[in-house]
Amino acid sequence: MLRQSLQQKLLQKLSPQQIQFIKLLQVPTAMLEQRIKEELEENPALEEGVHEDTDPRDEYSDLDAEREPDKQDEEYSEESSPDDIDVSGYLDDDTPDYKYDDGNYSADDDDKDLRPAVVMVTSFHEQLMDQLEMSDLTEKEYIIGRQLVGSIDEDGYLRRPLESVGDDLAFTANLMCEEVEIEQMLHKVQQFEPAGVGARDLTECLLLQLRRKKQSIHVQHAISILSKYFDEYTKKHFDKIARQLGLDEESMRLAHQEIIRLNPRPGNTQQDNSKVMHVIPDFIIHNEEGELHLRLNSRNAPELRISETYKDMMRHYEKAEKKDKKMKEAVSFVKQKLDSAKWFIDAVKQRQHTLLSTMDTIMTHQYEYFLTGDQTKLKPMILKDIADVVLLDISTISRVANSKYVQTEFGTFLLKSFFSEGIMTDSGEEASSKEVKQILTDLIGVEKKKNPLSDDKLGQLLNDKGYNIARRTVAKYREQLGIPVARLRKEL
């Protein structure tokens, strides 16, 4: 049965300007230049640069000054038709100033002759194919070898069963092969460079590398260890292995040294450099005689202005005695583009202001850390601490912290890395979890590797230093730092 009813709801919707600001706020400096270029291409009313002889805050106020005072009063006194488009707001408005003078690079600071280096890099698989083509092979062996090389992953391993490789050859090359033929060809591929390539598991990879070395007594011991006691070796049961092989402590240590010099990912040595991430900092902090100075890196944010051509169109329309339908349609289009341009300029300006105020609050909160670079100086800080000071929503602070980097005298860091929870000390003060992690790292760094510290012992040492921390918390922080348990940290 259909019924009609009235409901009252309270909804909150973001305006187009707010959505545009949020999107710009999330964009890091490295991508801001591209975003501005896209807007310049889409909106002809937006231009790059400012007038050399004009104060940016008077960008639009000069339009009325060009007209004679008496004529200006006369025009505004005339009665307009109901269909007239009001353009007065586009000839004299209070658009905020927009110029990135704070911490901005001048055009002269850019090195115009600097060009990115172009390096020709041969890929890992191309190098394997080059070696395959230079090998003395029959046509059938070459086809099998090509299939094997194509099946090797980026780490240098052949993780597919030989039976599956044979099925691929039957379907793609119409070549029927016995598994023994594929394995014989695989042994030839395993002689290619780098050593260890084409292995089917880690044990085979390491053994392939050892067998290419000069067969000293220590290398032979290492081969025996990996071929007979690989599981025990990964669990670092060195005493058990030494007893089984009849090795003394020094021989076991030297064999272990031979193994740890091997490369468990032979394909990784030939990887393309294009995967290296280059970070462009959004903020730069300078330490001048013990006083910190913050500036926004606006190098990729060019100065923007409203197009003179579009402003001339508005002047022409206002001065025109006869305003036909086509002219009104054209002016309506111009108004739309001008509004869009002003919104974008305001959004960029608001972005810069929000970034600066947020980073300035973070710098003030972590002042001692930014002076020294000592992680033990980091104070507990959560998103709400910053949001309460800058009077912004926590989600806005999160957008800034998750995608922005700051350059300091001791490195470039993601803002998110400065936020941490707090732990109570014996003195009743709150210490950052970052501080505790740094102390934990230092303790593990100086431990005796023959007898590493357990989580219980680490917890006791931290408690002795005044940090009230449980063993399970030590284990959690150790795992977050990527540090293995004590048994796996043991060395000879």
pTM over 0.75: no
Backbone angles phi, psi at 453, to 5 degrees: -75, 135
pLDDT at 73: 41
- pLDDT at residue number 112: 42
Q: Please say if the pLDDT value at position 48 is more than 70.
A: yes
Distances (CA, A) of 384 to 158, 271, 368, 376, 388: 50, 42, 20, 22, 6
pLDDT for residue 127 is more than 60: yes
**pLDDT higher than threshold 50 for residue 113:** no
| Interacting residues of 175 by C-beta distance below 8 A, sequence separation 6+ | 140, 143, 144, 169
- Other Cβ atoms within 10 Å of 245 Cβ, number: 15
Whole-number percent of the chain with pLDDT over 70 = 76
| CATH hierarchy code of domain 422-489 | 1.10.10.60
Rounded to an integer, what distance in angstroms lies between the CA atom of residue 150 and that of residue 158?
9
Amino acid at 30: A
Residues in Cβ contact with 61 at an 8 Å cutoff, skipping those fewer than 6 apart: 92, 93
The reported pLDDT for the residue numbered 23 is 72
Which is more confident, 349 or 74? 349
CA-to-CA distance for 455 and 471, rounded, in angstroms? 6
Q: Tell me what pLDDT residue 416 has.
A: 85
pLDDT tens for residues 136-157?
889 999 999 999 999 999 889 9
What integer pLDDT is reported at residue 78 of this predicted model? Answer: 40
- Where residue 300 falls among pLDDT bands split at 50, 70, 90? low
Residue 55's pLDDT band (boundaries 50, 70, 90)? Answer: very low
Compute φ and ψ for 369, nearest 5 degrees. -65, -45
What is the per-residue pLDDT across 256-289, written as a single tens digit (0 to 9) for each?
A: 999 989 999 998 765 544 444 577 888 899 998 8
Domain ranges of the chain: 16-69+85-106+278-419, 124-270, 422-489
User: What pLDDT shows up at residue 157?
Assistant: 93
Q: What pLDDT score was predicted for residue 315?
A: 72
Examine the pLDDT at 225 and tell me if it is beyond 90.
Answer: yes
Percent with pLDDT over 90 in the chain: 23
Q: How far is CA 318 from the centre of its chain?
A: 50
pLDDT at site 188: 93
Give 90's DSSP letter.
Answer: G
Rounded to whole angstroms, what are the CA distances from 199 to 155, 184, 188, 203, 223?
10, 13, 12, 8, 15
**What does the pLDDT average to over 27-39?**
77
Q: Check if the beta carbon of residue 394 is closer than 8 Å to that of residue 383.
A: yes
The CA distances from residue 454 to 71, 237, 339, 437, in Å, are 88, 16, 65, 15
Per the document, the length of the chain is 492
